[in-house]
Structure 1
Amino acid sequence: MKISIKILALFSILFLAISCGNAEDDVNFNVNNDGELGKGKPVDECLNLGENQLILSIQEQYTTLPGKVSIFFKVSDSDGSPVSGLTADKFTIYEQGRNDACFNTISTSESFARISPNSQIFKNNTLLVLDLSNSVLSSSLTELKTASTSFVNNVMPDPANQSVKMAIYWFDGENKLHLLNPLTASKAELLNSIDGITQDISNDPSTDLYGAVIKATDIATDLLNKSTQNNNIGAASVVIFTDGTDQASRYTEAAALKKVREANANISFYSIGLGAEIDTEVLKKIGKTFSVFAGNKAELENTFNAISERVSERANSFYLFEYCTPKRDGSGENNLAIQVRSGNKQGAVQTKFNAKGFTGGCK
C-alpha cells in the first residue's frame, strides 16, 4: 500500500513538472521564438499590465530632433487577425529612465502623441491573380469582371496614393503568369484592364494553379524586397481566384504549399474558390491568411468583397505612432513601453531609444 502511495506521489510530481514546463515553453515560444513582437520584447513585469490579447509587432523605430520618437508597428489579435482603425487615444506611453525603478506614464496630450500617416515609410502592394482558364471564360467571365471591379474599388484609395499599389495577373494552362496590368496606384488603369478581358484572351484551356501560386509568391517577394529599400517598410498581399483544381500538373501541390508556407511573414495570402470542382482544403492552405468560397457565380462578387475587406484591414493595421518625449540630452538610453486598448482587449510591447541631442520644442 505504501509503495502504491509513493508511486502515485511520484507520478503526481512528474505530471506537475511536465505541465508547468509545457506552459512556460508555450509562453516563451509564442512571444519570443515566433518573432511576434518584431523588434520589441515583452514589457517589464513591474508594469503589471496583464496578459496580451493584442500583439504589437514593431517593424521599425527612429528618433528625430529635437525630441520626437517614432514607432512603426502592426497590431493583430491573438489569432493573428489584423486590428485596424485605432486612434492615438487608444495608446498609453510608458518611459523608464536610468533613475526610475519602474516605468512612468507619459501624458499623450502633453507629449503631442499622434497616429501619423504611414505612407511616408510604408509601401503596400497587392497582386490580384485570376484564373482565366476555359471554364471561367466560357461560363462566368461577366461575373468575374464585376467581382474584380468591386475588389479594385474597395482596396485602392481614391485619390490615388503612391504607397498603395496593385498589379493584376492571370493564368491558364501555360507555364506563365500573364501580366494583365503592371503595378500601379491608378484605380482607373486597373479597372480599364479588367474591362478589357475578352473570351479569346487564353490559348490554353488547362489550369496551372500551382504554377500560378509559385510564380505569384516569387513576384510578391521581389516587390517586398524592393519596397523595403531606402528605409521603407513593406507588406504585400497575394489574392488568387480559381474555379477548379490544378490540371496542368506541371508543379506539385507540395511545392506550391511549401512556397506559401515559407514566404515572408509580411506577405499575406488569400484564396477565392468558385463552384463545385474546387478543392477547398488545398485552397485553404494556399489562402492561409483567409479563404472564401462561392457556390455559384451569383455569389462571386460577395466573396471578392469579403476578401477586399480583409486586405484593407491588414494594410490599415500598420501604424506610425509618434510622440515628443520629456527625456533630454544626457539621459542616455531609455526604455519605452507602448500599450494599446481596443474594446476589452489590451496588448503592450517594450523597446528603447537614445535621447542623444534631445531638447525642448518638439511638436
Structure 2
Amino acid sequence: MKLYIKLAAICFSLALFVSCGNADDDVEFGVNGGGDLGLGKPVDDCLNLGDGELVLSIQDQYTTLPGKVSIFFKVSDTDGDPVPGLTANQFTIYEQGRNDECFSTISTTESFARISPNSQIFNNNTILVLDLSNSVLSSSMEELKTASASFVNNVMPVSDTESFKMAIYWFDGEDKLHVLNELTHVKQDLLNSIDGINANISNDPSTDLYGAVIKATDKAEKLLAASTTNDRIGAASVVIFTDGTDQASRYTQSAALKKVDNANKNIAFFSIGLGAEIDTDVLGKIGKTFSVFAGNKEQLETTFNDISFRVSEQANSFYLFEYCSPKRDGSGENNLAIQVKEGNRQGAVQTKFNAKGFTGGCE
C-alpha cells in the first residue's frame, strides 16, 4: 500500500472528486456524493468529442511524486449498466495547461498509461439475503441451495482475496435478519453454510420481506463505511431472493422502498423472485439495479446465475487508471480529460490535478 499512502494534497470526498495533492499527505476516501460523473464534469467543447454512450464516474483521484496521476472510476452506459473488462489501450488522455487553448493528446506509451489492479485499493462486499419462509423450505429448498451455491461460485474469485467478501443472511416471519454466514472472503465457508440449510431452520412460516430489505440495507451501509477507510475504497451489492410478498406487515412498503432509494450510491440492489405469488413491480423497485424472476423452481439456478453475472460486472466496472504526466512543478493546476472507447461507443470525463513537485522519472 506504500504506493497509495503518501500522496498529494487531497481535497476530495470519495466517490467523486476533483482533487489535487501533495505527496506528503495521506489519501482519504469519502462517500460518493456526486452525480453521474462523480467529481468529474463534462469535457470542454473544444475537444469535439460529441455525445457519449458511456459514462465515466470518478470515484477518486490523486497524484504521487515524481509525476504520477491516478484516477479511480466506474464505467457504465447511459442506462446505468456496468462496463467491465476495459484495457489501457482503450483510453485516450488529454491534458490542458494554463498556456493551452485546448487539450493536447498524451501518448499512452510515453506516459506509461496502465490499468492497475483495483484490488490494491478496492473492497467489494456482497450481501445475499434468502427467503427461508415455509413456502420455500417446503417446495424449493434444494433448488434454492443449488442456485445459491452457483451464485457464490460465480461471484467470488477463484482464489480467496480480502478484496472480495460476501455475507449470507436469511429471513422468515420474525423481526430479525438471521445470519447464515458472516462476511468472509473464504468461498468454501459460504458454500458450507448453504449446504447446511435444512427444513427445520425456520420457526416462523410468515414472510417479513420489507423488514429484510430495511435491515439488509442498514448492514450494507455499515459494511460500506467500514470498508471505506483512509487507504481503501468500498462498494457493496445487496441481493434479495423471495418467493412471495410481505405477509408479516411489520414494516410498510414505502419504508422499505425509501430505504433503498436513499441508500448510498455505491450500493447496488438486485432482486430475484420465484413463482406466481411475487409482486414484480415491488421487487423491481427493491432490485433497482437489476431484477429477475423465475416462473418455477427449475429456473432458479438460471436466474441466480443471471444476477451473479450482473453483480460481477458491477464490481469489475471499477478501474484504477494511472499515467505519468509531462507537466512539471510550477505549472499549477492542469485540466485532465479521459476518453474511453468500447466498440462503437465512447464516453469522456474531465477533472483537474495539481502538478506541484512533479519532475521526471515517473514509472
User: Does the TM-score normalized on the shorter chain lie above 0.5?
Assistant: yes
For residue 220 of structure 1, what is the aligned residue in structure 2?
A: 220
CA deviation map 1:127-149 (0-9, x unaligned): 00000000111111100000000
How do 1:323-342 residues align onto structure 2 when only pairs under 5 Å count? 323-342=323-342
Whichever residue aligns with residue 193 of structure 1, its letter is S
Shift of 1:279: 0.8
For residue 309 of structure 1, what is the aligned residue in structure 2?
A: 309
For residue 41 of structure 1, what is the aligned residue in structure 2?
A: 41
Q: Distance in 1 between the 2:351 and 2:278 partners?
A: 46
Instruction: Give aligned pairs, total.
Output: 331
Q: Distance in 1 between the 2:263 and 2:206 partners?
A: 27
Shift of 1:264: 1.0
How do 1:343-358 residues align onto structure 2 when only pairs under 5 Å count? 343-358=343-358
Normalized against structure 1, the TM-score is what? 0.90
Q: Distance in 2 between the 1:57 and 1:283 partners?
A: 27
SS in 2 for 1:84: coil
How do 1:257-296 residues align onto structure 2 when only pairs under 5 Å count? 257-296=257-296
Whichever residue aligns with residue 114 of structure 1, its letter is R
Shift of 1:296: 0.6
Q: Distance in 1 between the 2:169 and 2:362 partners?
A: 46
* Aligned: 1:100 with 2:90: no
Q: Distance in 2 between the 1:225 and 1:141 partners?
A: 34
For residue 111 of structure 2, what is the aligned residue in structure 1?
A: 111
For residue 20 of structure 1, what is the aligned residue in structure 2?
A: none
Shift of 1:231: 3.2
Q: Distance in 1 between the 2:336 and 2:180 partners?
A: 47
Shift of 1:286: 0.6
Q: Distance in 1 between the 2:304 and 2:203 partners?
A: 26
SS in 2 for 1:223: helix
Are the structure 2 counterparts of residues 34 and 122 from structure 1 closer, same or farther at C-alpha, using a change threshold of 3 Å? Answer: closer
Q: Distance in 2 between the 1:231 and 1:153 partners?
A: 28
Q: Distance in 1 between the 2:318 and 2:172 partners?
A: 35
How do 1:188-227 residues align onto structure 2 when only pairs under 5 Å count? 188-227=188-227
Q: Distance in 2 between the 1:38 and 1:289 partners?
A: 18
For residue 74 of structure 2, what is the aligned residue in structure 1?
A: 74
* Aligned: 1:149 with 2:155: no
Shift of 1:234: 1.1
Q: Distance in 1 between the 2:162 and 2:104 partners?
A: 39
Q: Distance in 2 between the 1:270 and 1:315 partners?
A: 13
Shift of 1:250: 0.6
Shift of 1:289: 0.6
CA deviation map 1:283-337 (0-9, x unaligned): 1111111111111100000000000000000100000000011111111111100
SS in 1 for 2:311: helix
Shift of 1:78: 0.6
Q: Distance in 2 between the 1:138 and 1:116 partners?
A: 48
SS in 1 for 2:219: helix
How do 1:22-33 residues align onto structure 2 when only pairs under 5 Å count? none
SS in 2 for 1:277: coil
Whichever residue aligns with residue 345 of structure 1, its letter is R
* Aligned: 1:168 with 2:155: no
Shift of 1:232: 1.9
Are the structure 2 counterparts of residues 114 and 34 from structure 1 closer, same or farther at C-alpha, using a change threshold of 3 Å? Answer: closer
For residue 125 of structure 1, what is the aligned residue in structure 2?
A: 125
Shift of 1:34: 7.0
For residue 244 of structure 1, what is the aligned residue in structure 2?
A: 244
For residue 255 of structure 1, what is the aligned residue in structure 2?
A: 255
Whichever residue aligns with residue 94 of structure 1, its letter is Y
Q: Distance in 1 between the 2:258 and 2:288 partners?
A: 12
Whichever residue aligns with residue 277 of structure 2, its letter is E
Unaligned runs of 5+ in 2: 1-32
| Larger helix share, 1 or 2 | 1
User: Structure 1 vs Structure 2: percent identity of aligned residues?
Assistant: 80
Whichever residue aligns with residue 311 of structure 1, its letter is V
How do 1:2-21 residues align onto structure 2 when only pairs under 5 Å count? none
SS in 2 for 1:225: helix
Normalized against structure 2, the TM-score is what? 0.90
* Aligned: 1:54 with 2:79: no
Shift of 1:193: 0.5
Q: CA RMSD in A?
A: 1.0
Shift of 1:56: 0.4
Q: Distance in 2 between the 1:252 and 1:305 partners?
A: 30
Q: Distance in 1 between the 2:155 and 2:242 partners?
A: 20
Whichever residue aligns with residue 265 of structure 2, its letter is A
Between Structure 1 and Structure 2, whose CA radius of gyration is higher?
1
Q: Distance in 2 between the 1:321 and 1:116 partners?
A: 6
SS in 2 for 1:226: helix
* Aligned: 1:300 with 2:319: no
